Chains A and B, each alone.
Chain A
Amino acid sequence: MTGSPNWYEIIMTGIAERLDKYRSFKLFLDICVRWGACADKCHFYIGSGDPKNMPVLRAELLRSIYRRDFTTAGKLFGKFAGGRKLTPLIIKEWFYYFYQCTECRRCSVFCPYGIDTAEITIMARELLNLIGCQIDWIITPVANCYQTGNHLGIQPHAFKEILDFLLDDIETNTGVKMEPTFNRKGAEILFLTPSGDVFADPGIYTAMGYMILFHYLDLDYTWSTYASEGGNFGFFTSHEMMKRLNSKMYAEAKRLGVKWILGGECGHMWRVINQYMGTMNEPADFLEVPKSPITGTVFDNASQIKMVHIAQFTADLIKNNKLNLDKSRNDYLKVTWHDSCNTSRGMGFLEEPRYVLKNVVNNFYEMPPNTIREQTFCCGSGSGLNAGENMDIRLRGGLPRANAVKHVHDKHGVNCLGCICAIDRAVLTASMDFWVPGVRVAGLHELVANALVLEGENERTTNLRGEEIADLMEENEE
């Protein structure tokens, strides 16, 4: 071991401190009966067959250390009680396996005590951070987000430029010119989305979708370049780092004097917003309870944190007949729906996106019930594992999800995987190309915008990706 010479003490005090701060941590280390209900629920175990990827064993990697040094049985019986002494080798083992957990919480659904291995992973990563072990793909985005406003380190002028490119594409494909605003004080709504949406293919089509919808509604909204990141890689680092990055959302809303915040499609962003944001920050009294300016609907399930998910916002518009939608424009697609882990198991956001989806496409097929909704499988690349260098693990972890897609692909000819997560959009594309070629990945609002009939639009012969719709339809007939 290089680095901190007192790494052992740092980890041990780190464990002690977290035991006192988090009941979840203490309890989950104590009460597991090692019955293994969780064992084959983890996509990494299913995809790799590596026994240390069974959630119960992943937790045991840390639990065994805890047991030896923090419990009576362990102090008395040592390894007979399942205790292990922390060694540099174990640190390496931690590094290997706690970065093979995407904190997806699927195991927690099946555990009779709700033991959430993600919670253990979060703590283990905090501990590893204390001695300087972290992966570049997490720590660089965190630094960027802190300093520049978003994970990709896009500077303010470039951020605007990128969106201008997207606006040009929108104009080419729809014939409509739009002019969103940035950092505008006094707007009614602040819109925040993960930067993956403005940067990476196919997320950009979803970003176009948002702007088209807002233009259609003539919504009084603004983007922010300072808080230009909805996602939060700090969450994959430590609770403290999550808070440091998250604080920008409310700070910017306050500075701009908006009434409420609208959030884009993202998974872990919404886990943080739903489960942590209200607690981490001072009460957002400077905002109003969100109310749709179009339908007048008050979003009272967001009465305290004052931030609304765009799929909920859109579902309300459709329910109130505010959108002129031509579903048939998406007829070349046979769509299935991927529930993102975070919005499913950290929020329960299941029906809102489905309602929107069913109103913008004609062909929708669900995957098998044990692979969707609260039992959904992770894309395999969450919690900061979405780098190309992790491709091997990603494809293994992506197997269960891909396999379920393959099932509906073979059975119904599904050729599009819809989702509401920016990481999903980027990584599932790779997973599909490998496991189920011929299936594209699309964000919900890409599909919405393709179906949305705009005032003054052109023939709409192409979709937002610039593909000829007639060709796609024909291809599909064959």
Chain B
Amino acid sequence: MNIISSFLLSFLAGIALIVIAWAGALTNLQGLFGVVLPYIAITTFVAGVVYRVLNWAQSPVPFRIPTTCGQEKSFPWIKANCIENPSSTLGVVIRMAFEVLTFRSLFRGTTVELRGGPKLDYRSTKWLWMAALGFHYSFLMIFFRHFRFFTEPIPALVHLAENMDSFFEVTVPALYISDGLLMACVTYLLIRRVIIPQVRYISLPADYFPLFLILAIGTTGILMRYILKVDVVSIKELAMGLVTFHPAVPKGIGSLFYIHLFLVCVLIIYFPFSKLVHLGGVFLSPTRNLANNNRQVRHVNPWNYPVKVHTYAEYEDDFREKMIEAGLPVEKELSDEKE
């Protein structure tokens, strides 16, 4: 699939979704879009993620193959890097925490260019790392802030997050930093996919699609909050209905909201079956979640099986005469062999 068709395909898929939701809202299918679909989405998400993780877990880890990124445990007088090359479970946990919370491996990134000469020129790509972190943390923040719709009374932590996030009170209602950051980062990630030839070459429709989807979710969300203000009280009523299992569809919620909600449901349903499950996969990765202690602790392969080997006895049979001639010790003399 080339860039144009990949890009267009996922873009059109995004548009189609918006149209579907809009049509739904206009044709009074609020019950379907506001209640049934969210329940389906959550169920699919939970079942899907559980299935994926169990499915991975079903395959054993026959060998202990951590990628070691620092000095191993050696003599006491050689300083070991117990996080990047962990020899204990604690080290592994810390390594994983760095990986998940700070994208440690991405932080190492460099990019290389061939200059005349031939000379290779490396440059750090810390800004790429920042965009990745910015995207994920703003996503997390937005996700967390949404709990104000699903809880009553609203926990103090959610309020705190809201206050922190609207630290710069530049607009009314206060502009959330995470909103701007998310949109900026996703746009950047999208542009990056299109502009950088290497990344463009590896991109599939499945790579553009989630970015479009998140972009569309963000846009509808921002529109609702800052521009085409919607009836937040009714929306909260709907949300509380959903979480308390007494679903009801209040009147007067704009169709924009249903578009937003529909897109979120699609994202949630899409999640377990796409690359987005990287969320769960990180924790199971054998190159990151194992200690490099193979030489001290035996790692057992559950399907280990005996293989055919060439034994010493067979070897000596092949070469006995030559070995004796060269003065190499043998187990059986030539005379024994004759018997």
Q: Which residues of A contact B (CB under 8 A)?
A: 19-28, 30-37, 39-40, 46, 49, 51, 54, 56-57, 60, 71-73, 79-82, 105, 108-116, 119, 146-147, 149, 155-157, 160-161, 182-185, 225-226, 239-240, 243-244, 247-248, 251-252, 255, 273-276, 278-280, 283, 297, 300-305, 307, 312, 315-316, 319, 344-352, 355, 368, 370, 373-375, 399-400, 403-404, 406
Q: Mark B117-137, 1 if CB is under 8 A from A, else 0.
A: 011101000001000100000
Q: Which of B151-159, B197-205, B238-246, B253-261 contacts A (4 or more CB under 8 A)?
A: B197-205
Is B99's CB within 8 Å of the partner chain A? yes
Contact B282 A146 (CB under 8 A): no
Known A-B contacts A112-B106, A157-B328; A305 and B307 likewise in contact (beta carbons under 8 Å): no
Contact B275 A32 (CB under 8 A): yes
For residue A111, which residues in chain B have a CB less than 8 angstroms away from its CB?
105
Indicate which residue in A40, A56, A303 contacts B295 across the interface (CB closer than 8 Å).
Answer: A303
Known A-B contacts A51-B201, A280-B301; A156 and B64 likewise in contact (beta carbons under 8 Å): no
For residue A147, which residues in chain B have a CB less than 8 angstroms away from its CB?
310, 318
Q: Which of B18-26, B53-61, B179-187, B222-230 contacts A (4 or more CB under 8 A)?
A: B53-61
Alpha-carbon distance between A39 and B71 when the two chains are bound, in angstroms? 25
Contact B204 A82 (CB under 8 A): yes
For residue B199, which residues in chain A have a CB less than 8 angstroms away from its CB?
34-36, 39
For residue B64, which residues in chain A have a CB less than 8 angstroms away from its CB?
275, 279
Contact A301 B278 (CB under 8 A): no
Is B195's CB within 8 Å of the partner chain A? no
A-B CB pair tally, cutoff 8 Å? 285
Is B308's CB within 8 Å of the partner chain A? yes
The residue on A at minimum CB distance from B319 is A156
Q: Is the interface of B mostly helix, strand, loop or mixed?
A: loop
For residue A54, which residues in chain B have a CB less than 8 angstroms away from its CB?
198, 201-202
For residue B304, which residues in chain A have a CB less than 8 angstroms away from its CB?
279-280
For residue A252, which residues in chain B have a CB less than 8 angstroms away from its CB?
312
Contact B303 A112 (CB under 8 A): no
Alpha-carbon distance between A21 and B277 when the two chains are bound, in angstroms? 21
Q: Which of B31-39, B77-85, B138-146, B170-178 contacts A (4 or more CB under 8 A)?
A: B77-85
Is B273's CB within 8 Å of the partner chain A? yes
Alpha-carbon distance between A182 and B319 when the two chains are bound, in angstroms? 15
Contact B206 A81 (CB under 8 A): yes
Contact A40 B112 (CB under 8 A): yes
Q: List 15 A-B contacts (CB under 8 A).
A: A25-B59, A31-B278, A34-B202, A46-B112, A79-B1, A82-B204, A112-B106, A114-B67, A156-B328, A160-B328, A184-B329, A275-B294, A302-B295, A348-B72, A349-B72
Known A-B contacts A19-B59, A156-B328; A146 and B310 likewise in contact (beta carbons under 8 Å): yes
Indicate which residue in A24, A80, A403 contacts B61 across the interface (CB closer than 8 Å).
Answer: A24
The residue on A at minimum CB distance from B324 is A157
Contact B74 A301 (CB under 8 A): yes
A253 CB to nearest B CB, Å: 11
For residue B204, which residues in chain A have a CB less than 8 angstroms away from its CB?
34, 81-82
Known A-B contacts A30-B281, A46-B114; A399 and B301 likewise in contact (beta carbons under 8 Å): no
Q: Is the interface of A mostly helix, strand, loop or mixed?
A: helix
A421 CB to nearest B CB, Å: 16
Is B103's CB within 8 Å of the partner chain A? yes
Q: Sorted from nearest, which 4 A-B pairs have the closest CB atoms?
A: A348-B72, A31-B281, A157-B326, A114-B287
For residue B309, which residues in chain A have a CB less than 8 angstroms away from its CB?
244, 247-248, 251
B137 CB to nearest A CB, Å: 14
Is B325's CB within 8 Å of the partner chain A? yes
The residue on A at minimum CB distance from B325 is A157
Contact A243 B59 (CB under 8 A): no
Alpha-carbon distance between A279 and B61 when the two chains are bound, in angstroms? 11
For residue B326, which residues in chain A have a CB less than 8 angstroms away from its CB?
156-157, 160-161
Alpha-carbon distance between A347 and B66 when the two chains are bound, in angstroms? 8
Is B148's CB within 8 Å of the partner chain A? no
Q: Mark B258-290, 1 if CB is under 8 A from A, else 0.
A: 000000000000000111011001101111100
Among A71, A73, A273, the one with the most B-chain Cβ atoms within 10 Å of its Cβ is: A73
Contact B67 A23 (CB under 8 A): no
The residue on B at minimum CB distance from A146 is B310
A118 CB to nearest B CB, Å: 9
B64 CB to nearest A CB, Å: 6
For residue A403, which residues in chain B have a CB less than 8 angstroms away from its CB?
118-120
Is B4's CB within 8 Å of the partner chain A? no
Alpha-carbon distance between A400 and B323 when the two chains are bound, in angstroms? 45
The residue on A at minimum CB distance from B124 is A370
For residue B294, which residues in chain A have a CB less than 8 angstroms away from its CB?
274-275, 278-279, 304-305
Known A-B contacts A30-B56, A183-B329; A303 and B296 likewise in contact (beta carbons under 8 Å): yes
Known A-B contacts A247-B309, A279-B304; A37 and B323 likewise in contact (beta carbons under 8 Å): no
